[in-house]
Amino acid sequence: MNVSALNDSLLFAQKRLDELKRLNNGNLAGAKPKDRQILIQEFFCHLVSAIEILWQVINKSKKLGIPDSQVCSEKVLKKLGRTDPIRPLIASLYPKTRSHREWKPLPSNPYSEEGSHFRILVFRHWVSHNGENPFAMRWGGDEPPISLFLDPRNQTLGPSKLPAIEELEAFWSLVNRKCQWVIENLKATRS
């Protein structure tokens, strides 16, 4: 199992998150857009990379026989038995955000676990492929000064009600927790 590569990706995502927290002396809203962009892009790339490495770890550990170049969530889930205990843990990690060249809509509760996994992938695609900043800025009022858009593909949905850093921490924790659960389960079944 290449668990160290998975943990490295999680560590790199955590480091980028820590840098975002310290950016511009903690004033993320006042930081230069390019400085925010590089860190948010790396955060999401490393976070999703950990999920993609997890598929490789499962393929090798469970001896699924999928060639390395073809390992993906769909193939891993298809090869796992219906009663495999890790199946429910990983089924939601990599949701489809597109179907037949059309974007799928945001889940009804963007703050749920399902909504968070969906948004993680959307943000990774958005910052990597579009090169655009996913931050929503607000000045004055009681709302956080900087949040993520609920869905950067449709900014009319508005900003998240959560501060950006709080939401990024929740995303990291969710992916880390699931990856560690799967790794522990794989180790237990090998013993």
Rounded CA-CA distance 96/154 in Å is 17
Q: What is the pTM of this model?
A: 0.94
Q: What is the mean pLDDT of residues 82-105?
A: 88
Task: Report angle CA 73, 79, 84 to the nearest 5 degrees.
Answer: 95
Q: Is 130 left (phi over 0), alpha (psi -120 to 50) or beta?
A: alpha
**Residue type at 117 in one-letter notation:** H
Residue with the larger pLDDT of the pair 43 and 185: 43
- The model's pLDDT over 94-129, given as tens digits with 9 standing for 90+, comes to 898 988 888 899 999 999 999 999 999 999 999 998
Mean pLDDT across the chain: 92
Map out the domains of the chain as residue ranges: 3-190
